[in-house]
């Protein structure tokens, strides 16, 4: 038999329920015989002077070297001047696009059936510039920065993604009727890229109207691309349509194929260590990781097992109305592989 | 019998379907014997140099003098430098709070039952400052301005409104984990006001999480108060929960009781003049106007008639799946008064 190539991937189990749900992923990968070897990194308890955050320099280097990683939830310690760990990762690794597929889980009932859309969020600038100051007492301002370079890059990624995934429509979400210059530049970049994809329908939708249409009829949308804050808002709204962040994967994409997939839900400290957490969002993120690496067979196998296990209903975790433990659900997933 | 006091109110029928739906309101008011006399004003076809917009100086004076008005939809003519008519009204009249009650219409089915919440939006600053510029080629910035004065004022309005309307909870919506200074100041002002209302529960909810929770379970919310853009987004999302902007009233509140209620849907030029428009949003806005004036009896009477007529289902307009004309629906409303 051929020697199989093993891929090394960085794993940030994170904290709170992170280690438990990461264990679930590791076990499922092992059972499915996925050719991935993990390099595990944890958050430090003190700031690493080389990164200026609780993320160690070694862990960042690991992602850069491997070009691929998976991340559980992390709590940024509260206190003066601690930069958000999530934002630090995105910024330092140049993860310019945040991709969140939002797909109904047929076995899990919400008010919406058959949701199937993808939000692609500019992940580095906009309202997240961090530039703020007090003008005079009682008057503060924040700067929203939009650049041609970052807008073009995320627009290119969105259209490329749409094409690769056989999707038909890209909607750019904006408020350019009010922020004519910033959102206007963002739209201009989207239009330029849209020209290169004549087979993909391109449209522009104002964010308030977009949110109204999403709750009325999400089937109107396919791929949505937008500046940072709108992406933050709309991706959570979309997650809500299918049941919440516990069921939604997410990926952060950088240059040269660099990708860090992550579960975007919280660390749920109240249930941490109790074998109660739902690993689905991290598992679906690991499926995205496999797809990104071109490992479509195990990706499909694991994805089907997740849908099947949730549909069967017997081994659902508490957040989905069941009573299964994390390990019971994981075992059921493995049995259904 | 006592001489009845008549109140003069300004009416902007607006354009597109505006005049038809305004006629519906006038007829219903007449049939209900509401003691309102209308002063009608239309948008001019040329810019009034005294206002710098298509809104005439006389119409603005009318609202200021009467202290109360009702407004249909208006299209801002496209072209360089034409300021939005809606924004001009809000700004020039100092309409600092935008209030949108969002109440399920029992007879009209959506995915959500029993929605009952109110969004209160800061209406004058924030992301709507209009301050934008190009820093260097390919780099643009927009300024979000938050002031203590405007934040305090809208927070005071929100808590006052909650108290007056017997509501139990005020949620301040923000993204202060990212925009620490601007949204931080907004929250600080809300907290200061919350202290004065010990009987009202006060909470702070991050906007992305708020949107997710709204689509999962809108019953978690009661009164929501927030900066301008978040209000724009969330009020449309909420409208979507109950069926859209055609069923949602809105009010703009200024100093000394000044109020301009408005239907926030579009002018629907495609059906204008065809006796097909649904006047419900403008009618519900007129009900808000009556409540604001303390005319609770006719307000209640008209509101009940709207709910009854829609529930009966026989005289619904096309947007609600019916075939009734605007005049047929209006006649049914009058019969149900
Ligand atoms: C935790 C927070 C800083 C982050 C964001 O605002 O981007 C989160 O909401 C997300 O969407 O990943
Ligand atoms: C028409 C537009 C300028 C306006 C806004 O953004 O405020 C509208 O969306 C609204 O909510 O009234």
What's chain A's average pLDDT?
95
Paired strand residues for A10: A39, A69
- Quick one: tokens of A299? 């990706």
B54-81: average pLDDT: 89
Q: Are A41 and A59 in contact (CB under 8 A)?
A: yes
CB contact, 8 Å: B84 with chain A? yes
Q: Band the pLDDT of B87: cuts 50, 70, 90.
A: confident
Chain center to CA of A108? 20
- Quick one: tokens of A253? 């994409």
Q: Report pLDDT for A77.
A: 73
Q: Pick the residue of B126, B145, B180, B212 with the most A CBs within 10 A to test the interface with A by mutation.
A: B212
DSSP A216-247: H-GGG-SEEEE-HHHHHHHHHHHHHHHT-GGG
Q: Give the pLDDT confidence of A128-162 residue by residue, as tens digits.
A: 999 999 999 999 999 999 999 999 999 999 999 99
Is the predicted pLDDT of residue B56 greater than 70, yes or no? yes
A256-260: average pLDDT: 96
Q: Report pLDDT for B3.
A: 60
Answer whether A311 contacts ligand 1 (Cβ < 6 A). Answer: no
Q: Report pLDDT for A83.
A: 76
- Quick one: tokens of B157? 């309005």
Is the predicted pLDDT of residue A307 greater than 70, yes or no? yes
Q: Report pLDDT for B81.
A: 64
A230-235: average pLDDT: 98
Size of chain B in residues? 337
Dist. CA A156–CA A161, nearest whole Å: 8
Q: Report pLDDT for B80.
A: 59
Dist. CA B289–CA B299, nearest whole Å: 8
Q: Are B208 and A236 in contact (CB under 8 A)?
A: yes
Percent of all residues in chain A with a pLDDT value above 90, rounded to a whole number: 89
Dist. CA A236–CA A241, nearest whole Å: 9
Is the predicted pLDDT of residue B1 greater than 50, yes or no? no
Q: Are A97 and A226 in contact (CB under 8 A)?
A: no
Q: Are A24 and A51 in contact (CB under 8 A)?
A: no
Nearest to B239 among A143, A212, A241 (CB): A212
Element of type H or E holding B147 = strand B139-147
Instruction: Kindly identify which residue of chain B lies nearest to residue A175, measuring between CA atoms.
Output: B229
Nearest to B236 among A209, A239, A240 (CB): A209
Q: Report pLDDT for A120.
A: 98
B74-88: average pLDDT: 77
Burial of A65 (0-12, 13-18, 19+ CB in 10 A): exposed
Q: Give the pLDDT confidence of A28-78 residue by residue, as tens digits.
A: 999 999 999 999 999 888 888 988 888 999 999 999 999 999 999 998 777
Q: From ligand 2's centre to the CA of B232, what distance in Å?
A: 7
Q: Are A69 and A261 in contact (CB under 8 A)?
A: yes
Residue A315: CA count within 13 A, CB half-sphere: 19
What's chain B's average pLDDT?
95
A260-277: average pLDDT: 96
A17-38: average pLDDT: 98
Dist. CA B278–CA B24, nearest whole Å: 9
Is the predicted pLDDT of residue B71 greater than 90, yes or no? yes
- Strand, helix or coil at B42? coil
- Strand, helix or coil at B67? coil
A189-203: average pLDDT: 98
Q: Report pLDDT for B45.
A: 86
Dist. CA B203–CA B189, nearest whole Å: 13
Q: Find the DSSP H helices in A195-325.
A: 207-216, 228-242, 280-292, 296-312
Q: Report pLDDT for B322.
A: 94
The distance of B3 to chain A (nearest Cα, Å) reads 46
| Close Cβ partners of A92 (under 8 Å, ≥ 6 residues apart) | A51, A55, A60
Q: Report pLDDT for A3.
A: 60
**Residue located via tokens 């049995």:** A335
Q: What order do you get walking across the sheet with A116-122 strand by strand?
A: A36-40, A7-12, A68-71, A259-262, A251-253, A97-103, A116-122, A223-226, A169-174, A201-206
Q: Give the pLDDT confidence of B222-237 residue by residue, as tens digits.
A: 999 999 999 999 999 9
Atom 6 of ligand 2, nearest CA residue: B232
A259-273: average pLDDT: 96
C-beta atoms of A175 and B133 within 8 A: no
C-beta atoms of B178 and A128 within 8 A: yes
């Amino acid at each position: 038999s051929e020697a199989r190539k093993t891929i090394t991937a960085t794993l940030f189990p994170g904290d709170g329920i992170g280690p438990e749900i990461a264990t679930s992923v590791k076990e499922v990968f092992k059972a499915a015989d996925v050719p991935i070897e993990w390099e595990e990194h944890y958050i430090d308890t003190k700031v690493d002077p080389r990164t200026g955050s609780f993320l160690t320099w070694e862990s960042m280097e690991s992602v850069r070297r491997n070009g691929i990683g998976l991340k559980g939830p992390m709590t940024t310690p509260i206190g003066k001047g601690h930069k958000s760990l999530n934002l630090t990762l995105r910024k330092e690794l140049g993860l310019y696009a945040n991709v969140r597929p939002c797909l109904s889980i047929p076995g899990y009932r919400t008010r919406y059936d058959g949701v199937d859309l993808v939000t692609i969020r500019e992940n580095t600038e906009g309202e997240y510039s961090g530039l703020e100051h007090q003008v005079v007492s009682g008057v503060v301002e924040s700067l929203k920065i939009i650049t041609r370079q970052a807008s073009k890059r995320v627009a290119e990624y969105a259209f490329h993604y749409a094409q690769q995934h056989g999707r038909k429509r890209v909607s750019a979400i904006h408020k350019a009727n009010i922020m004519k210059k910033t959102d206007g530049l963002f739209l201009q970049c989207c239009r330029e890229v849209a020209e290169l994809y004549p087979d993909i329908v391109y449209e522009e939708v104002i964010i308030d109207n977009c949110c109204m249409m999403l709750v009325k009829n999400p089937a109107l949308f396919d791929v949505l691309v937008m500046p940072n804050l709108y992406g933050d808002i709309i991706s959570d709204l979309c997650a809500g349509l299918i049941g919440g962040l516990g069921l939604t994967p997410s990926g952060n994409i950088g240059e040269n194929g660099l990708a860090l997939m992550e579960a975007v839900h919280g660390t749920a400290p109240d249930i941490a260590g109790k074998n109660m957490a739902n690993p689905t969002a991290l598992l679906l993120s690991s499926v995205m990781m496999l797809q990104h690496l071109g490992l479509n067979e195990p990706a499909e196998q694991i994805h089907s097992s997740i849908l099947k296990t949730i549909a069967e209903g017997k081994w659902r975790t508490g957040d989905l109305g069941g009573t299964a433990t994390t390990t019971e659900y994981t075992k059921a997933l493995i049995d259904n592989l």
